[in-house]
Amino acid sequence: MYATARMRPEQADAMLREALEANGQRFTDQRAAVYRFLLGTTDHPTADEVFTAVRGEIADISLATVYKALETLVSCNLAVKLAYGDDSARYDARTDDHYHSRCVRCGQVRDVPGEASAALPQIHAGEGFRVQGYRVEVIGLCAACAD
């Protein structure tokens, strides 16, 4: 199960605390602020965008702290890092299997509605290869860029 934006802040903090402690990490206000921001957005922000948003809540947070918090969330399976070839990693608090669409002009990343596994063909990766996951990305132009 993954967290949703409809969670109350105390629920999100409890989920974060449990996941961090299970992975030998400490709960901090900075990590909580980063996690709550990710839960509350569907925009798949970059670390810089997270930093700008969270700085409104914690004025003295540094960009390095945001990067570390994001990587900690990823390592605890509370967020997913979407890395692209142009060094524009984005983060998503939605950790279930789902697809993304990405605009090649403006870089906007959105969740694609629907069940991910229903559209995935059977892939045979080879004798003895154990598939641990997959990533499918739909690329093109968003509505604003297509005009």
Q: For 37-93, how does the pLDDT look when each residue is reduced to its tens digit (9 = 90+)?
A: 999 999 999 999 999 999 999 999 999 999 999 999 999 999 999 987 666 799 999
Q: How far apart are CA 65 and CA 69, in angstroms?
A: 6
97-146 CATH: 3.30.1490.190
Q: How far apart are CA 80 and CA 97, in angstroms?
A: 10
Give which of 126, 119, 123 is closest to 97, Cα–Cα. Answer: 119
**In contact, 36 and 9? CB cutoff 8 Å:** yes
138-146 mean pLDDT: 91
Architecture of domain 9-90: Orthogonal Bundle (1.10)
Residue type, 80: V
Residues of the chain with CATH 3.30.1490.190: 97-146
Residues of the chain with CATH 1.10.10.10: 9-90
